[in-house]
């Protein structure tokens, strides 16, 4: 299949065949055949003009497939190139941030951090946990804001299943200092789960500014048990 694909791409760049090849790569990735997806994306890129507008998208998917294979250095290289080709590629920017996060996971419990972290308004903040960490039961955050905020928490397991606290009252935080506690006992999977929530490696906190003039949110303390 790749030989025929390379012939097509050598003769006609940015054709419907290129889009078809991208689709085939997506299908391979969806079937967890990330090696085949990488081979397809690399074959397309090898014969695609550098200035072709689809190049950034292909590089993003190449980086994502390498990420799924655990080839983080190779993934970051492709994602950096995707951003060079498409500076506003939000998904590539987000995946690079996730790669950097995995390089500094939390490795022991309990965990306490008092380093202030400034989070831009209407964005997300993540915590990554290393393998074999043990059961996480609560995450406590101390937050400082100049504007009212709403914070939502979501967890994602290794298979991509997301967990969310549907029953939690998401009342806005008033300006000033607030303390929030998220307990794993209060979360339910959004689809069929394969592992217990308290072993999930990634937590994402969505930070929604409710003020007329959004300002950064400061995370001043983190306690994890």
DSSP three-state, residue 75: helix
Please give the helix or strand (H or E) that residue 3 lies within, else none.
helix 2-11
Helix, strand or coil, per DSSP, at residue 53: coil
CB 169 within 8 A of CB 142: no
Q: Report pLDDT for 39.
A: 93
Please state, as a whole number, how many other Cβ atoms lie within 10 Å of the Cβ of residue 89.
19
Q: Is 165 helix (H, G, I), strand (E, B) or coil?
A: coil
Which domains are assigned to the chain? 2-102 (1.25.40.10), 111-224 (2.60.120)
Alpha-carbon distance of 133 to 204, in angstroms, equals 18
Distance, CA of 93 to CA of 112 (rounded, Å): 28
Q: What percent of the chain has pLDDT over 70?
A: 84
23 has a pLDDT exceeding 70: yes
Contacts of 16 (CB under 8 A, 6+ apart): none
Peptide bond into 110 cis (omega under 30): yes
In this prediction the pTM is 0.60
Q: Would you give the DSSP letter of residue 224?
A: E
Q: Mean pLDDT throughout 156-180?
A: 69
Q: Which residue has the higher pLDDT, 192 or 148?
A: 148
Between 9-13, 22-26, 133-137, 168-172, the lowest mean confidence (pLDDT) is in 9-13
Q: What is the pLDDT of residues 56-114, one digit of tens each?
A: 889 999 998 988 887 888 988 998 898 888 876 778 887 887 777 777 788 888 989 88
């Amino acid at each position: 299949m790749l030989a025929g694909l390379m012939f097509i791409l050598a003769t006609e760049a940015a054709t419907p065949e290129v889009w078809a090849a991208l689709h085939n790569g997506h299908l391979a990735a969806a079937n967890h055949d990330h090696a085949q997806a990488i081979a397809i994306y690399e074959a397309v890129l090898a014969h695609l003009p550098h200035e072709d507008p689809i190049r950034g998208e292909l590089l993003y998917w190449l980086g994502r497939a390498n990420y799924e294979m655990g080839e983080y250095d190779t993934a970051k290289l492709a994602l950096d190139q995707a951003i060079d080709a498409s500076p506003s590629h939000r998904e590539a920017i987000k995946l690079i941030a996730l790669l950097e996060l995995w390089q500094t996971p939390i490795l022991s419990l309990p965990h306490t951090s008092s380093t202030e972290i400034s989070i831009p308004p209407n964005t997300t903040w993540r915590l990554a946990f290393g393998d074999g960490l043990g059961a996480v039961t609560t995450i406590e955050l101390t937050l400082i804001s100049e504007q009212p905020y709403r914070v939502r928490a979501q967890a994602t397991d290794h298979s991509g299943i997301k967990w969310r606290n549907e029953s939690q009252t998401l009342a806005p935080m008033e300006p000033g200092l607030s303390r929030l506690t998220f307990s794993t006992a209060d979360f339910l999977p959004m689809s069929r789960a394969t592992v217990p929530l308290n072993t999930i490696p990634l937590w994402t906190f969505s930070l929604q500014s409710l003020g007329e003039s959004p300002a950064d949110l400061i995370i001043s303390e983190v306690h994890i048990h």
